[in-house]
Structure 1
């Protein structure tokens, strides 16, 4: 039974991926740098497209879903993880199943409604169906040990989930006819052999895709997305929609993820330097500047939102113009930096 797993907050991807990395890093600390090996692409939902209703489009707008995001490809983790999935429509044995799997060395993702958590952003306020990561349990205090971002979205931390919260969530799922999904994960023998050697050809492909940009269709959501730098230029053109933001949580997570991504790229520059014995100081300075520029945009937008929320002041055209100027600088620097990284990597191949 995994007694202790440190939260992974080096880079925000999503609640499942971050917790899988935490699990792998407890086996092999080299996985703390795994983010440097993952392909990344910028995505942004296309605003003017067909939706099932105007209400859905408005809801996406209010919750910040049109702000660009970073999506990481995590297929390379498959080699290092073994998993099984089970769905339950009867919940009487759920605690026995979870505990038995933990005793067998697995960590468990279990579908839980965070409305029934004892604390957090959704506790007793809104239903949020969520894959909760559990790595241990304590019968004495009737609680599971978990890693959660329910207190601060986008930041994993230790969290105790009472058995009662699981029970209440199960009762709710039963009332609406929803099954509970359980995913059981453990590391494979390859996890201990993982090293930090950077594959340059894969990195070049990822960066070239970023520069090519365009549109992609997501069949699962039946929606189109801008990709690469197009996602930033499209958002620049639509920045006036910032007026319509009602819920700040998703927006805050997404804009901060770009700051983290370029901190990751500075770490990537260091790894390339270490692996190939070359100096990457200039490239690292570009990524440092990008991190700073995204931080300026983050702080600027946070200030505008706080001013609106606490003082009731509307977002004005001058606010939007300042954000546009900041984002324009970012787009120019993003392209310049990606092109320089591609040139460096091709020179090493």
Structure 2
């Protein structure tokens, strides 16, 4: 079955010491406004799945249904709207966005009817007197790497999810079919999604420095890992550039040669991801 996306999933650290977390299921759709306002009044930020098809001024507005978690941080009774942090206007930038109550209701109803919009995830920062110093735990990195290197296929009634680095190879195998199924209005979102891959690796440069500062890595190993990361970042950027150029230049179908070049680039990326992961795993073990 053709995958509709691929993601590299990492284990999140335990933040319960610093955040209060509530997860609430709304059983009655008519109560959604009251529930949201109560949490906002108590100082919580709320993640709720909404359909951006109904977000006025957004890139998906009136064009395509796109459900994703939206962050609500307040409400404006004077202008009858919720205050969100969103990238629906500019895909590469999170910025304040006002969602009218009426548009919210249509968006929420869509996800509610699909069975995916009834859960609210609410976060609040705990009050603390001292500054928090978070030290990266090698054990967490170890588990993340083990997960990446483990090829796994998870199935449910409507979707096949390929996990770990195997997802990159699987995406490469289905690339021609996937690209032929894209519409022109999807191209900007594709560019934004691919940018996240190299941005993720750029954050790892900071992780390497922190591990070195905490004496978890030797300086010479830091230099080796950074060199590998720079190669990986370059390869992701190269793939993104070729991929978007191929989308723009091909109106109906994609030439086999161009697709094969992209596939080879993805397979090289998978190789570099494995190489870097193994280097890091050995360095912190």
State the TM bucket, normalised to the shorter chain.
Answer: 0.7 to 0.9
Q: 2:166 aligns with which of 208, 230, 234?
A: 230
Instruction: Choose the corresponding residue for 1:303, options 245, 248, 257.
Output: 245
Q: Deviations over 1:243-300 (max 9, x none)?
A: 4231435643443222122112111111112211742122112111101110000010
Name the CA shift for 1:172/1:303 in 2 (closer, same or farther; >3 Å).
closer
Shift of 1:147: 0.8
- 1:92-241 pair list within 5 angstroms: 94-153=32-91, 155-169=93-107, 180-188=118-126, 194-211=132-149, 213-219=150-156, 221=157, 223-241=159-177
Q: Which residue of 1 aligns with 2:198?
A: 259
How far residue 111 of structure 1 moved from its aligned partner, in angstroms, is 4.8
Structure 1: state its 5+ residue gaps: 1-46, 48-60
| Alpha-carbon separation, structure 1, partners of 2:114 and 2:160 | 30
Query: What secondary structure does 2:274 align onto?
Result: helix
Structure 2: tracts of 5 or more residues without a match? none
Whether 1:327 and 2:269 are equivalent positions in the alignment is: no
In 2: Cα distance, 1:191 partner to 1:124 partner: 47
| 1:269 match | 208
- 2:24 corresponding residue in structure 1: 85
Question: CA distance change for structure 1 residues 165 and 283 in 2, over 3 Å: closer, same or farther?
Answer: same
CA–CA distance in 1 between the matches of 2:109 and 2:151? Answer: 45
Larger RCO (CA within 8 A; separation ≥ 6): 1
What is the aligned partner in structure 2 of residue 287 from structure 1?
A: 229
Residue 83 (structure 1) shift: 1.0
Aligned 8 A contact 2:21 2:121 in 1:
no
Give per-residue Cα distances to partners, 1:222-246, cap 9 Å, x unaligned.
Answer: 6554433333333334433344231
SS of 2:10's partner is strand
Q: Size of the alignment, in residue pairs?
A: 278
Q: Find the aligned partners of 1:301 and 1:334 in 2 and give their Cα distance.
A: 19
Q: What is the CA RMSD across the aligned residues, in angstroms?
A: 3.3
- 3-state SS of 2:135 partner: coil
CA distance in 2, matches of 1:133, 1:191: 27
Q: 1:76 to 1:140 in 2, by over 3 A?
A: same
Separation (CA, whole Å) in 2 of partners of 1:150 and 1:144:
15
Give TM-score, length-normalised by structure 1.
0.67
TM-score (norm: length of structure 2): 0.81
1:175-205 CA distance string (max 9 Å, x none): 9999744443322357976433121133223
Change beyond 3 A, Cα 1:272–1:103:
same
Closer, same or farther in 2 for the Cα pair 1:222/1:316, shift >3 Å? closer
